[in-house]
Structure 1
Amino acid sequence: MKKKLEILSKVKASKVISPEINFEDYIAIDFSESNIDLQNHSLENAVDYEIYIQKHLDKNNAKIAFGGYNEVRNLYKRSTVFKNNETEERNVHIGLDLWINKQATIHAALDGEIHSFQNNTSLGDYGPTLILKHEVDGFVFHTLYGHLSEESLEKKMGKKITSGEKIGTLGLPPINGDYAPHLHFQIIIDMENKMGDYPGVSSKINLEYYNQNCPNPELLLKIREKFNNFENL
């Protein structure tokens, strides 16, 4: 695993959302249950989150808010996708979110091919989802792009994709799972024979496995290296 992570860390990745926006216009955001500020806001639906995110962007003179890997979140409680009577609650986010209140363009992180795609339509799910397959130095892995527009799924399986190529646009609520507009970006090593879908939220009991199979997307995106404001990551 260490060797695989080293391969990922050396890859020169492209921006995956609105590449014309500079990294200095990004700002970290915290949606964890430990963020006391969230308790002062009524966040019950997509509109509430859009307002909260826009205020955060405006306050920091930013255009994209990002973060969320390994955050324990309360925002999944509204959906039965993340809990039923037979399983432990899933509330630990294992991707990285990039929040922007517009229908931004989405781009491939690096060269690859279309692995699969699917519209995951349940409340709180990904909505339209695209998964790419990559191989670097013999290491095969995947990147998942969730909460896209329906038009983003007009694809052909196996189609070759180049780094930075536009692969879709961001979806809007309710099509995107009924969230404020954002991209869920995730690295997945073993797809476990799944097509067009893979868990983006883990239970605490299964987190060790998912952290191994879905390493921190920052290994590819490298946003952390671009500026110094990372208090909320």
Structure 2
Amino acid sequence: MDRHALLTNFINNHPEAIGKVVDFDHERDHLYQLDLTAANNELTAEVINNTPLFSSWVNSKLRDNNCRYGIGGYMEHRTIYAFSSHFDTDDEPRRLHLGVDIWGDAGTPIYTPLDGLVHSYQDNNNIGDYGPTIILQHDLDGLTLYSLYGHLSRKSLEGLLVGMPVFKDQQIATLGDINENGQWPPHLHFQLMFDMAGKQGDYPGVCKFSEKEIWQKNIPDPGLILRFPDAVNVE
């Protein structure tokens, strides 16, 4: 059985082991599906290249649709990364998003949905990068799974130690603002990996579209853990 199937089986057989990543009331709160692809004509270069304007656009979508968070991004082919040279390569630029983004207010509490330990952490302080990042390691009945939390506040890294235990539903961080999170509108980049390939405090969250099948083998859908309801709107 491959690792994707093992993860699905664990979640199905141990639903009580899965906690929350953000506070969310399934009966009252709503999600707004944000489209960050070229199909979204509202995301002009002017908006993308101006973080306060981009933030205002996100906030207006959530406010106008009575949604607590924006959501989306797993294996989404995005054009917004053109604003930063961080995503450029010598041949094909990186544009395929590997995690799920949860867009909300700076200071929003972030939790670990699984028992585990701190694998690594660091401030990836580049324009367009994760900013403060925490990576946790989990043992799911013998299956090793890593979870990554990017675009955090700098205070989220204070007091962390590699190997420190964490527990389901424990608050581990808060969302950072645009001055500390890689110059993005406040949001969480949440990503799962089976293998860290020796990396510490960082792992690619965007890849070349031509390499999609390769990355999918190591990066399962975070929706398996988030277990959110369907978003109420799509761009």
The verdict on a shared fold, with TM-score over 0.5 as the criterion, is yes
Residue 213 of structure 1 pairs with residue 218 of structure 2: yes
The match for 1:133 is 137
| Aligned-partner SS, 2:185 | coil
**Mind listing any 5+ residue stretches in structure 1 that lack a counterpart?**
none
The match for 1:4 is 6
The match for 2:126 is 122
AA at the equivalent of 1:14: G
Instruction: State the number of aligned residues.
Output: 227
Contact persistence 1:32–1:74 (CA under 8 A): yes
Alpha-carbon offset, residue 39 of structure 1: 4.3
- The CA distance in 1 between the partners of 2:67 and 2:233, in whole Å, is 14
AA at the equivalent of 2:145: F
Contact persistence 1:107–1:166 (CA under 8 A): yes
Q: TM-score, normalised by structure 2?
A: 0.90
Alpha-carbon offset, residue 36 of structure 1: 3.0
**Aligned partner (choices 218, 229, 232) of residue 229 of structure 1:** 232
Q: Identity of aligned pairs, percent?
A: 35
- The CA distance in 1 between the partners of 2:234 and 2:180, in whole Å, is 32
**Aligned partner (choices 150, 165, 174) of residue 160 of structure 1:** 165
CA gap of 1:228–1:75, structure 2 versus 1, over 3 A, is closer
The match for 1:100 is 104
Shift >4 Å, 4+ stretches: none
Alpha-carbon offset, residue 120 of structure 1: 0.4
| Aligned-partner SS, 1:113 | strand
Contact persistence 1:8–1:219 (CA under 8 A): no
- The CA distance in 2 between the partners of 1:117 and 1:92, in whole Å, is 23
**Mind listing any 5+ residue stretches in structure 2 that lack a counterpart?**
none
- The CA distance in 1 between the partners of 2:34 and 2:73, in whole Å, is 8
- The CA distance in 2 between the partners of 1:94 and 1:204, in whole Å, is 10
| Aligned-partner SS, 1:42 | helix
Alpha-carbon offset, residue 44 of structure 1: 1.6
Alpha-carbon offset, residue 41 of structure 1: 6.9
- CA-based RMSD of the aligned residues comes to 1.8
| Aligned-partner SS, 1:208 | helix
- The CA distance in 2 between the partners of 1:49 and 1:204, in whole Å, is 24
